[in-house]
Amino acid sequence: MSEIKKMKFAILGCGNRGQVYADYALQCPEEAEVVAVIDPNPVHLKETGDRHNVPQERRFDNIHDFLAAKIECDSVVNATMDQQHYETALLLIEAGYNQLLEKPICPKEDELLDLERKAKEKGVSVLICHVLRYAPFYKRIKEILNGGTIGSILTLEQNEHVKIGHFIDSFVRGKWNDENRCGSGLLLAKCCHDTDLMCWLNNASAPKTVSSFGQRAWFTKENAPKDSTEFCYNCPHTNTCLYSAQKIQLDVDEFPFQTWEGMGKPIEEVSYEEKVEYLKTNEYGKCAYKFDVDLVDRQVVNVLFENGSTATLTLVGGSVRADRYIHIVGDKGEIEGHMIDEKFVLRIFDREKFDFVEEIITVSDDIVSSDKYGGHGGGDFALMKDYVRFLQGADTSISITRLDDSLNGHKVVYAAEKSRRNETVEKIR
Ligand SMILES: NC(=O)c1ccc[n+]([C@@H]2O[C@H](COP(=O)([O-])OP(=O)(O)OC[C@H]3O[C@@H](n4cnc5c(N)ncnc54)[C@H](O)[C@@H]3O)[C@@H](O)[C@H]2O)c1
């Protein structure tokens, strides 16, 4: 491998994801450096600026001041929230910056196509954070498919199970709980990774027709226990309910950076008593059945590809175990596995025996520890490593995701949402 030069990054949006990518510079200081930070939230701006020793004159509370300062850098990491992606990504493109843009690219198809066109016109790169392409589980599957071992894909089946704590924290009480507020429905916010994987793994062809069903049918007022209250703190069911805020937010506290964000100070400065008070009036303390939103809690998506191959994706929120499952059937073999098991089964048809032979492929050893290097089965860290190489014009991995390579996965989501809402079958444009 040729020597890697140090790349300079600006971080736009210094929340949870922005900090994960910025921290690559602490893990691999010889490869990356954070030279500017931009965020209207003073707590996030200070935390990230201090962590990376960014001088005060290169800390900005808005993108316009950053652009006016004409800071030199190799790329801007755009980790703003979904509904800010289009506007901010466009400004960066027009200013001539390369960018690493968080998924989903944006909630509307015309905006997505506009970004693609403008980036081409301007000659800048926009890469998308499809971290799961980097998770060893999916990367290894892709390598096997590319090697032709299971032949041509006939069907591909995927499941995404979002476990109780995660679903409640992010999609019932959290900032992705209302499409009108956050810009994305559940399929776009949570499963544009899965539709991306579907199109990437099956990229011998392109998606052609889509249908989808789904609704919110469990987290509804009708399903709330009869004498339950609006907030969990004074609810008679708080000690038994699976979704109790006392349990999920206070005791388990799985995503503290989301739950306590609205308190306006660093989490380590928030006391237990302050948290208890906060949950008495904030949405994070509200009964999970009583939100007045229509974000689905289950959805199925069916896709027909141009070459006749088919794919299905089932998404459910509130499962007892977090998991992604995949089963790909090719004309010469099959691949089947649960991501959580860190292994999958490869079955190949043996013509002599006229039966299949099976091999277990374990990927645990390829996963970089998630404690040290962020999550997504090692995907976060591997993505940044590859991105640094991309910026330098070095060889990159099969997982690299340019904007135009992510179009099909997004188009499947837009078509599926149209189909679900209108009860129609949609053709991909
Ligand atoms: N790749 C993945 O697997 C993955 C996982 C989780 C989230 N995401 C996506 O990453 C993005 C960020 O999510 P997050 O959880 O870090 O959100 P976050 O709310 O923690 O961070 C977003 C930050 O952007 C800042 N911001 C808002 N408007 C801005 C603007 N105009 N200019 C600059 N900064 C602005 C906010 O103050 C906040 O600090 C979202 O699009 C989300 O869907 C991707």
Q: What is the pLDDT of residues 345-359, one digit of tens each?
A: 999 999 999 999 999
- Write down the pLDDT at residue 374: 56
Ligand 1 atom 36 nearest Cα: 13
Ligand 1 atom 19 nearest Cα: 15
Whole-number percent of the chain with pLDDT over 90: 92
Q: Which residue has the tokens 């001539």?
A: 96
For the stretch 267-315, pLDDT in tens is 999 999 999 999 999 999 999 999 999 899 999 999 999 999 999 999 9
> Which of 60, 63, 91, 102, when mutated, tests ligand 1's pocket best, judged by the most ligand atoms within 8 Å of its CB?
102
For the stretch 93-102, pLDDT in tens is 999 999 999 9
Of the pLDDT bands very low, low, confident and very high (cuts 50, 70, 90), residue 365 is: confident
- Write down the pLDDT at residue 378: 77
CA angle 99, 102, 111 (to 5 degrees): 80
Ligand 1 atom 6 nearest Cα: 17
Dist CA 128 CA 395 (whole Å): 17
> Which of 17, 63, 84, 86, when mutated, tests ligand 1's pocket best, judged by the most ligand atoms within 8 Å of its CB?
17
Strand, coil or helix: what is 361? strand
CA of 196 to the centre of ligand 1 (A): 20
Of the pLDDT bands very low, low, confident and very high (cuts 50, 70, 90), residue 369 is: low
Ligand 1 atom 37 nearest Cα: 41
pLDDT tops 60 at residue 20: yes
Dist CA 59 CA 68 (whole Å): 13
Distance of CA 359 to the CA centre of its chain: 30
> Which of 20, 21, 39, when mutated, tests ligand 1's pocket best, judged by the most ligand atoms within 8 Å of its CB?
39
pLDDT tops 90 at residue 375: no
- Write down the pLDDT at residue 193: 97
- Write down the pLDDT at residue 377: 73
**CA gyration radius, the chain:** 22
Q: Which domains does the chain have, with CATH numbers?
A: 7-128 (3.40.50.720), 132-217+294-367+401-427 (3.30.360.10), 221-285 (no CATH)
CA of 355 to the centre of ligand 1 (A): 50
Q: Which residues of 265-390 form beta strands (DSSP E)?
A: 298-305, 310-319, 323-330, 333-338, 343-350, 355-362
Instruction: Provide the whole-model pTM.
Output: 0.95
Q: What is the mean pLDDT of the chain?
A: 95
Burial 131-141 (b: 16+ CB within 10 A, else e): bbbbbbbbbbb
On whether the CB atoms of residues 276 and 250 are closer than 8 A, the answer is yes
CA of 18 to the centre of ligand 1 (A): 7
Of the pLDDT bands very low, low, confident and very high (cuts 50, 70, 90), residue 364 is: confident
pLDDT tops 90 at residue 174: yes
For the stretch 387-411, pLDDT in tens is 999 999 999 999 999 999 999 999 9
Element (H, E) at 145: helix 136-146
CA of 380 to the centre of ligand 1 (A): 15
Strand, coil or helix: what is 357? strand
CA of 28 to the centre of ligand 1 (A): 23
Q: What is the mean pLDDT of residues 157-169?
A: 97
- Write down the pLDDT at residue 5: 85
For the stretch 129-158, pLDDT in tens is 999 999 999 999 999 999 999 999 999 999
Q: Which residue has the tokens 């809402």?
A: 421
Nearest to 43 by CA among 15, 17, 21: 15
- Write down the pLDDT at residue 277: 97
Measuring from each residue's beta carbon to the nearest atom of ligand 1, which residues come in under 6 Å? 12-18, 38-41, 44, 63, 79-82, 84, 88, 102-103, 129, 131, 189, 376
For the stretch 28-46, pLDDT in tens is 999 999 999 999 999 999 9
Higher pLDDT, 4 or 428: 428
pLDDT tops 80 at residue 371: no
- Write down the pLDDT at residue 50: 98
Ligand 1 atom 15 nearest Cα: 16
**Quick one: which atom of ligand 1 is closest to the CA of 258?**
20
CA of 43 to the centre of ligand 1 (A): 14
